[in-house]
Every structure is written in structure tokens, then in C-alpha cells.
Structure 1
């Protein structure tokens, strides 16, 4: 998992932000499937991915307002 700093996110283009969000959401879906089928996974990563998505979407929204 790649943790993005706020500076890295602010420097991303709109397309990069959208693709990053979609990748993180797909990974989160994979974790939910593993959880439902009782496969092994690291449950703390779910919270981490959710926070990453929220962080990126917040900065995206802020950029949209200030543009």
C-alpha cells in the first residue's frame, strides 16, 4: 500500500486523482470480499484505505472549490 502525503496529492492532476481513488476503492472491495469469504487479510488495512480515500477526496473537493 502506498501512503500519499498531502503534498503529493495536491500535486496530482485530476486524472491521477480519479485513477488513484478508483484503485483504492477496488482494493477496498477486494478486502470486503475476502472478509465475507473468511479469507486471510489484514483488517487494519481497511481503515487505512478508507482514510486514504477520504483524504484524497477532500483535497480533490478543496481544489474544485478554489478553482
Structure 2
């Protein structure tokens, strides 16, 4: 699984980005919960999820500055 590309995020509308931010934050919460309760999880997903969240927040900020 490769890291997410920012070009994929730039093609989304602002409402889609905001919905994706919510779902990615939930996914990160679930990963942290699994880690804390010692359930099995794929540790590389932390890096992928945090990177995806950063990309979404960056593009959202760019949209806000353009408006």
C-alpha cells in the first residue's frame, strides 16, 4: 500500500474534504483505541492516516485562503 497522494485530495470539493477529514479522524481514533486495548492492527496505518489527515487539512486551508 502506497502513501496517499495530495493530487487525489485536490480533486475533491470543499464539502467532500470536510467529510473526509471527519472520517480520517475517526479512523485515527479507532487505530489509537486498538493500540491502547492491545488489539491487532497494522502499525503502518498510523503513518498513512496521519499523512492523509495533514494533506486534507492543508488543502482545506488553501481553499479557505482562496475564498
TM-score by length of 1: 0.85
Corresponding residue number in structure 2 for 1:57: 57
- Are the equivalent residues in 1 in contact too, given 2:9–2:59 (CA < 8 A)? yes
What runs of 5+ residues in structure 1 fail to find an aligned partner? none
What runs of 5+ residues in structure 2 fail to find an aligned partner? none
TM-align CA RMSD: 1.6
Number of aligned positions between the proteins: 66
TM-score by length of 2: 0.85
